Amino acid sequence: MRDNTLKYLLVLPAVLVVFATAIWPLIESLRLSFTVGRLNRPGSLDQYLGWENYTWAFSQEPAFWNSVWITAIYTVLTVALTTLLALGLAMLLAPGGRFRSGVQTLLILPFAMSPALIGVSFRFMFNPEFGLFDAFFGVMIPPLADVSWLADPILAFAVCVMADVWGWIPFLTLVLIGGLASVPQDTIEAAQVDGASGWRVFRDVTLPQLAPVLAVVIILKSIFSLKTFDQIFMLTNGGPGTATQTLSHYIYFNGMKYGQIGYAASVAWLMVIPMIFLTYAYAKFVFRKD
């Protein structure tokens, strides 16, 4: 067979699978978002409604805006905290050696853990009666001794952020260690010989060299933060009330619990829009080397 035919035949199955499992549902979601779309009402999935689901979300649903804000704050906090702490840990671990390499190996573990399980484990750690972190914070910060973390809207949100940061630091640290390894060592040494302080070397030499990797880390983490669902579901299930209801959780609840699949699809599509920008930015970094 000629290569010219073969090369298209080889990608065909993959293209078909990606189309059927990702592109089709995206388009079908878009269609559903313009329908009445009630799960319990046959025929409503084809009943055209125009933009009403979208205008409903924007004008009639405080819970939608609530989840938009929760998701936004959650994303900003988790991205900032994870990136900063991972950068710190990466700087500590980058020099290598047996001890540090051993620690790097351990870093894989939290990331191989199912996010749902991370949610469960943090619910465990913050149990008011026998949670280890609950007890720890109670001793360190006495005003927090008798609070029930997951029953308080702000503290429950804080626990969700902590669980997320805990789960993601290890992976981002590994990525940043990889990035630090590509910063030329002689440039750093030259700056040190010139008498630059540790902080100056970091700011003027390391950080600019690390910028592309840092950008990748921030974009990737933003995407995953925006999508957050599993942990929240197992940790607080959006509660107390709707204090930790992220957009994904809001969509799940409207679509699956209330059966308003058309409305859920419209909110889901509103969520796709920021993803398009982030993916575009990410793709630029992926193709940078080619």
Partner 1 sequence: MTGKRKKQVARAIQTALILMAIFVMLVPIIWIFMAAFKTHVDVYQLKLFFTPTFANFGTVFDAPYNLGDKLLNSTIIAFVTVVLAIPIATMAAYSFSRFRLRGETAMLVVILATQFVPAVVIILPFFVMFRDVGLLDTRLGLILVNLAIVMPFAIWMIKGFIDGIPLDTEEAAMVDGSSRLQVIRNIVLPMAAPGLLTAGIFCFIIAWNEFLFALILTNKDAVTLPIGLALFKAEEGDLWNLLSAAGIIIMLPMFVLALIIRKYFVQGMTMGAVR
**Contact present, 232 and 238 (Cβ < 8 Å):** yes
Task: Name the one range near partner 1 by CB under 8 A: 4-12, 153-161, 189-197, 201-209.
Answer: 4-12
> Least distance in Å: CB of 21 to partner 1?
4
Q: Does 232 bind partner 1 (CB under 8 A)?
A: no
State both tokens at 217: 């880390």
Q: Does 261 bind partner 1 (CB under 8 A)?
A: yes
CA distance linking residue 172 with residue 185, whole number of Å: 22
Task: Please give the residues from 98 up to 127 whose contact with partner 1 meets the rule CB under 8 A.
Answer: 99-100, 103, 105-118, 120-125, 127
Q: Does 211 bind partner 1 (CB under 8 A)?
A: no
**Contact present, 235 and 163 (Cβ < 8 Å):** yes
Q: Does 45 bind partner 1 (CB under 8 A)?
A: yes
> Least distance in Å: CB of 232 to partner 1?
11
CA distance linking residue 188 with residue 63, whole number of Å: 51
> Least distance in Å: CB of 62 to partner 1?
21
Q: Which of 162, 161, 167 is nearest to 110 (CA)?
A: 167
- Residue of the chain from 57, 94, 226, 243 that contacts partner 1 (CB under 8 A): 226
> Least distance in Å: CB of 36 to partner 1?
13
Q: Does 28 bind partner 1 (CB under 8 A)?
A: yes
> Least distance in Å: CB of 185 to partner 1?
18
Q: Does 200 bind partner 1 (CB under 8 A)?
A: no
Q: Does 255 bind partner 1 (CB under 8 A)?
A: yes
Q: Does 132 bind partner 1 (CB under 8 A)?
A: yes
Specify the residue, 14 or 140, whose C-beta has the smaller distance to partner 1: 14
Specify the residue, 24 or 69, whose C-beta has the smaller distance to partner 1: 24
Tally Cβ neighbours within 10 Å of residue 2.
Answer: 6
Task: Please give the residues from 83 up to 102 whose contact with partner 1 meets the rule CB under 8 A.
Answer: 89, 92-93, 99-100
Specify the residue, 56 or 282, whose C-beta has the smaller distance to partner 1: 282
CB neighbour list of residue 30: distance below 8 Å, 6 or more residues apart:
265, 269
Q: Does 8 bind partner 1 (CB under 8 A)?
A: yes
Specify the residue, 107 or 205, whose C-beta has the smaller distance to partner 1: 107
Q: Find the largest Cα–Cα distance for the chain.
A: 76
**Contact present, 45 and 271 (Cβ < 8 Å):** no
> Least distance in Å: CB of 39 to partner 1?
8
Q: Does 230 bind partner 1 (CB under 8 A)?
A: yes
Q: Does 54 bind partner 1 (CB under 8 A)?
A: no
